[in-house]
Amino acid sequence: MGDGALSVWEKSSTARVVPAARPRKLAKVPFVELADGRLQGVVSSGSDIGRVYVSSVAAGSYAYACSTNNNRPCGGARGSFCNHIRALVGEAVLQYGAERVGRYLKVEAGDGEPDAHSLTSAMTSTRPGSDDTSAAAQVFSRFLRHLAYLELPATTDPLPEMQWFPTAGFPTTGAVAA
């Protein structure tokens, strides 16, 4: 830094930094994010429409956690990833792409193109422990904050600041975020 001329990307006001989320079906996993050093999200219960699970996998250690939003532990998450966590990884790969998910979680997926299956296998093969510092309440409140965006009204007052956020319509290069 500071030891030479800036590149065109560095001198761009509209440089693309974070790739846009890709469309996916939300019924099974309504919320996924790469945040706070974890892949975390909310997974719908297969049996009870009123229940959701809060699931997470930590980057690097792959320590996992899964519980209901009322803090009851998930019966499946003993000894290894439960189906909720597997679904979470699968949907994260759809939303962000396997490469970005793998990079964030620090997974060495071996040869070939990574996919949800290879990422999950690579993580479970290290026999990760469960994550006792579960941040279920925090993840759930982030999900509620996310849902609240639907309740905010639209406006026809112009937002000139959005000129700095052109749509990411077609694949662009130069994104740096993990």
Is 60 among the residues that bind other proteins (CB under 8 A)?
no
Integer CA distances (angstroms), 90 to 85, 101, 150, 176, in order: 9, 10, 25, 23
Burial of residue 127 (number of CB atoms within 10 Å: 0-12, 13-18, 19+): exposed
Question: Closest CB to other proteins among 49 and 132?
Answer: 49
Closest approach of other proteins to the CB of residue 176, in Å = 5
Is 71 among the residues that bind other proteins (CB under 8 A)?
no
Question: Closest CB to other proteins among 75 and 149?
Answer: 149
Cα 91 to Cα 83: distance, rounded to the nearest angstrom: 12
Question: Binder to other proteins among 8, 113, 127, 133 (CB under 8 A)?
Answer: 8
The H or E element that residue 58 is part of is strand 52-58
Q: Which amino acid belongs to residue 100? A: R
- What order of strands is seen across the sheet that includes strand 64-68? 31-35, 38-44, 52-58, 64-68
Question: Closest CB to other proteins among 8 and 111?
Answer: 8
The interface mask with other proteins, positions 89-128, x = CB under 8 A, is ------x---------------------------------
Binding span for other proteins by CB under 8 A among 6-14, 56-64, 77-85, 122-130:
6-14
Contacts of 173 (CB under 8 A, 6+ apart): 16
Is 149 among the residues that bind other proteins (CB under 8 A)?
yes
Question: Binder to other proteins among 47, 125, 133, 155 (CB under 8 A)?
Answer: 155
Contacts of 47 (CB under 8 A, 6+ apart): none
Largest CA distance in the chain: 60
Question: Closest CB to other proteins among 10 and 46?
Answer: 10
Question: Binding residues for other proteins, per CB under 8 A?
Answer: 1-2, 6-18, 20-27, 30-31, 34-37, 50, 52, 69, 95, 143-170, 172, 176-178
